[in-house]
Amino acid sequence: MNLETMPYPPRTRTRDYRIPLLLLSALVVVLDRLSKLWVVHHIKSGSAITVIPGVFRLTHVLNSGAAFSMFADSMSPGTVRKALIAFSVLAVVIVLTMLWRAGRSLNASTLALALILGGAIGNLYDRARLFYVVDFLEVKIVHYHWPDFNVADSCIVIGACLLMIEIFRAQPQRQ
């Protein structure tokens, strides 16, 4: 047997999931934009459509602050906006870097990072272009009224919950 005809062991190549994970982030941005555009064109600002009476409504709220409208009534809204944009850009860079490094494998952590990245970009777009974020999902359960939120916020929260589960999940014992 000569070297040219000698069989070689198959190459073991692990799949790189970074591009599919970035596509998931892009899908989150697209769904966020489309849902916000629908709300802007179908629900008058400050109005609502009841979906489940006493529980769930589609609203049209303009949030110039941070999460839960923090800093929305600030004495210097321009400074708040610039700070929120800077924070968002920093968060996007950090999460993108983490996703790029960890994205060769597909697991709960990389899915979480992809969701967080898409959500952060979705809200960053609104803040940079419109000076506010469009929120439209309103939930009330018994006496608790959750502040209005959007698809981007939902993806950020789901991603954060997945990361928390990963952090507190029992790790397999190494031999």
pLDDT at 73: 57
Catalytic positions are: 135, 153
Largest CA distance in the chain: 83
Mean pLDDT taken over the chain: 89
**Any residues with CB less than 8 A from the CB of 22 and at least 6 apart, and which?**
99, 103, 114, 117
Distances (CA, A) of 39 to 16, 46, 151: 37, 11, 12
pTM: 0.85
Inside any domain, residue 141: yes
Query: Does residue 7 sit within a domain?
Result: no
Q: Is residue 22 part of a domain?
A: yes
Q: Could you tell me the residue range of the domain that residue 65 belongs to?
A: 18-168
Domains in the chain, number: 1
Per-residue pLDDT tens digits for 60-109: 999 886 665 555 555 666 787 888 899 999 999 999 999 999 999 999 99
Reported confidence tier of residue 159, pLDDT bands at 50, 70, 90: very high
pLDDT of residue 140: 95
Q: Could you tell me if residue 36 is inside a domain?
A: yes
- Residue 4: inside a domain: no
Question: Which residues have a Cβ under 8 Å from the Cβ of 37 and sit 6 or more positions away?
Answer: none
Report if residue 29 sits inside a domain: yes
